[in-house]
Amino acid sequence: MQLIDITVRDKQAHPRLAGRVTGHVRAVLVEQLGEQEQTHELTIPVWADVPEGASDADADMALMLKAADIVSRLKASLGVMPTPSEPSGPR
């Protein structure tokens, strides 16, 4: 599974926490299933703390980094899942 695109869909200042930005990031993943390529579009809710005076580009980068970290953890957890032919219990 490979991350091929990541963009900020929307963002806003947190209503109560100064310096925190919340939003949604669109991540596009592609995986090869035998001969077929499957594309997955995910919308990931994220938040990031940004310093006062940070530019919009800095806030976008912080949100995309959070989403990329979430995608990395998802990929790692999918990599350790047993295949249907493997037993899932302790060995």
pTM value is 0.78
The model's pLDDT over 13-35, given as tens digits with 9 standing for 90+, comes to 999 999 999 999 999 999 888 89
The model's pLDDT over 73-87, given as tens digits with 9 standing for 90+, comes to 988 888 744 445 444
Sequence-separated contacts (24+) of 13-16 with Cβ below 8 Å: 14/47
Instruction: Round to whole Å and give the CA distance between 35 and 41.
Output: 20
- Indicate the domain borders of the chain: 2-76
Q: How many CB atoms lie within 10 A of CB 55?
A: 9
